[in-house]
Amino acid sequence: MDQALDDTPRRRLSLSDQLDCVPVYVVWELTLACNLKCIHCGSRAGHRRARELTTDECIDVIRQLAELGTREISIIGGEAFIRRDWLTIIRAISDHGIDCTMQSGAYKLSSSMLRSAADAGLLGLGVSIDGPEALHDRLRGVRGSYREALRVLDDCRQIGLTASVNTQITASVMPDLPQVMETIIAAGAKYWQVQLTVAMGNAVDHDDILLQPYDLATLMPLLAELHLKGRAHDLVLLPGNNIGYFGPHEVLWRGPDRGYYSGCPAGQNVIGLEADGTVKGCPSLATDRYGAGDVRSTSIAELWQSHPALQFNRARGTDDLWGFCRDCYYAEACRGGCTWTADSLLGRRGNNPYCHHRVLTLAERGIRERIVKVEDAPALPFATGRFALIEEPLPREPTPEARCT
C-alpha cells in the first residue's frame, strides 16, 4: 500500500483481530485522477477510471466497512482531493466512527482545503517527499511539487493537523536520505514513513530507479542511524512493510516484544479498494492476480468471507514460499515479507530478495543478488513486468592499494 502499516494505536493488531480476520485498516483509492506524473507510480495514476463509485456508493461502502470492524480508512489516489465529494466522504467516514487519514502528493492542496478536511474529520495527512527539491520534482514529474509539499506541511502545523512524511526509497535518493531527514525535522513533521519503490507500473518503465537487493547492505545501517538521530529530534522514522526483515537493526523500530514483522496482513487485516469498487487484500497488489470482484455486484462482507483472492494469507502456510525464502529460518513468521514487493518483481509471491537477513546470509556465502528487467509492464494500472534474479559473487572490498591506483 502507499503507506504501509505504522504504529498508531487503533491500527495495532490484537490477537483476536488476527484470528477473526478483522479488516482493521482500509486503504481506499478514491479516484485514479492525479495532478502529478510520478515516474515510480505503481497505479499509473493520471486519468480517472471509467466507472468510479458515486457518492452514494461510497457512503454505502463506508457503512459496510464499519459493520466489518474497520477502524481506519486511509484515502489515497491518484489524488483523493480531486474528487468533488472528498469532504463528504471524509465526513461520512468520521461519522461512522472510523479514523480517516489521507496520503497525498499535496500539489495544489490549498490551506483552506486542508482546513475544511480537518473540519470534516480528517485526523492526519501523509505528504510525499521523495528527495531534495530537484530530485523530488523530477520523480514526481511536476516542477514546484516539492515546494508545495513543504508548504502543506507548514499549513498542517499551523492548523494543528498531524502530518507525516512518506518517502519512496529509490536508488537515486539513498545518498540524500540524511538531507531529506533534515528537511522533515525542520518542517515539524512527527512521523517519517519510508518504503522501497516497488517494480510496478511506471517504476518498471524506469527500472533504473529501483534499488538492487544488495543495496540493503548499505540502506539498513543508514536507516538505523537515521532512526536514532530522528529520535533525538522528536521524529519517528517508521520503515514500511516492505523494509525488513529480521536484520540486526530491526529491533530499533519494532521493539523487543511482539513488535516483530509477522507477515503480510493483506486480506487478513487489510483491505484495498480501487476507485471503481474493486476489492483487493492490499491496494497495491496487481489487480489481475488479486482483484476480488467489486462492491457493485457483491457485498464486501461476502467477498471478504469467501473470495479466494483475499484468503491467501489466512492459513499462514509456507507452501507458497520458494527460492531462498522457502528454507529461511524466519519462513513461518515472515512468509516472504511484503507480497506486493515480491509478487510484482518476480510474478509470484513467496520469494523476496529485498530482505536484509537474506542479503547478510548470502554475503556470508560470498554471494549477492541483482535484478534485471526481462519484460515490460503493460500500460495499465497496477501492471507488473518481469524481472530475473541473478546470483553473482560479492565484489571484494577494494584493498587500500587498489583504491589509490
Partner 1 sequence: MIASGHAKAAPVLVLCRQCVRYVFEGARTCPHCHGDALEISERYRDGGYLVIETMQRIDRLREGSES
Residues that bind ligand SF4 (CB under 6 A): 1, 4, 241-242, 245-246, 264-266, 270, 282, 284-285, 324-325, 328, 330-331, 334, 336-340, 352, 355, 357-358
Of 50 and 315, nearer to ligand SF4 (C-beta) is 315
Q: Which does 255 bind (CB under 5 to 8 A by kind): partner 1, ligand SF4, none?
A: partner 1
Residue 163's binding partner among ligand SF4, partner 1, none (Cβ under 5 to 8 angstroms by kind) is none
Q: DSSP state, 42?
A: T
* Exposure of 240 in the CB half-sphere (CA atoms within 13 A): 23
| 26 touches 263 (CB < 8 A) | no
What pairs with residue 56 in β-bridges?
Answer: none
Which residues from 309-328 bind partner 1, rule CB under 8 A? Answer: 311, 313-316
Q: How many residues does the chain have?
A: 405
What is the Cα–Cα distance from 192 to 174, expressed in whole angstroms? Answer: 15
Tell me which of partner 1, ligand SF4, none is bound by residue 301, counting a contact when its beta carbon lies within the kind-specific cut-off of 5 to 8 angstroms.
Answer: partner 1
Question: Nearest-CA neighbor of 13 among 264, 243, 279, 239?
Answer: 264
252 HSE (CA, 13 A, CB side) = 23
Provide the minimum distance between the beta carbon of 303 and partner 1 in the complex, in angstroms, as a whole number: 11
User: Looking at beta carbons only, is 152 or 342 nearer to ligand SF4?
Assistant: 342
* Distance in Å, CB of 226 to partner 1, minimum: 19
Instruction: State the Cα–Cα distance between residues 46 and 32, nearest whole angstrom.
Output: 6
Site for partner 1 in 113-152 (CB under 8 A): none
Residue 248 in the binding site for partner 1 (CB under 8 A): yes
Q: Per CB under 8 A, does 305 bind partner 1?
A: yes
284 binds, among ligand SF4, partner 1, none (CB under 5 to 8 A by kind): ligand SF4
Identified binder of partner 1 from the candidate list 251, 372, 380, 390, rule CB under 8 A: 251
Exactly one of 105, 213, 239, 247 binds partner 1 (CB under 8 A); which one?
Answer: 247
Nearest to 293 by CA among 277, 306, 305: 277
Residue among 22 and 34 whose Cβ is closer to partner 1: 22
The region of 39-47, 86-94, 260-268, 342-350 touching partner 1 under the rule CB under 8 A is 260-268
Question: What is d(CA 343, CA 350) in angstroms, rounded to the nearest whole number?
Answer: 7
- Here the cell at position 63 is 457503512
DSSP for 216-243 reads HHHHHHHHHHHHHHHHHTT-EEEE-TTS
Q: Which is nearer to partner 1, 68 or 171 (CB)?
A: 68
- Using DSSP's 3-state secondary structure scheme, residue 315 falls into coil
Question: Can you tell me which of 8, 12, 46, 68 binds partner 1, judged by CB under 8 A?
Answer: 68
* Least spacing, CB of residue 99 vs ligand SF4, in Å: 18
Residue 255 binds partner 1 (CB under 8 A): yes
- Starting at the edge strand found earlier in the chain, the sheet holding 270-273 runs 236-239, 191-196, 162-169, 122-128, 99-104, 72-76, 25-29, 270-273, 279-280
Whether 362 contacts 393, CB under 8 Å: no
Inter-CA distances, 260 with 14, 229, 267, Å: 14, 22, 19
**CA–CA separation, 242 vs 224, rounded Å?**
16
Question: 298: phi > 0 → left, psi -120 to 50 → alpha, else beta; which?
Answer: beta
If binding is defined by CB under 8 A, does position 365 make contact with partner 1? no
Please state the closest distance from residue 236 (CB atom) to partner 1, in A. Answer: 16
Nearest approach, Cβ of residue 88 and ligand SF4 (Å): 28
Q: Which is closer to ligand SF4, CB of 68 or CB of 185?
A: 68
Q: Write phi, then psi, for 375 (nearest 5 degrees).
A: -150, 135
When asked if residue 175 is in the footprint of partner 1 (CB under 8 A), the reply is no
Q: How far is the CB of 68 from partner 1 (least distance, A)?
A: 6
400 binds partner 1 (CB under 8 A): no
**Residues in touch with partner 1 (CB under 8 A):** 14-15, 18-23, 67-69, 246-248, 250-251, 255-258, 260, 262-263, 268, 301, 304-305, 311, 313-316, 329-330, 332-333
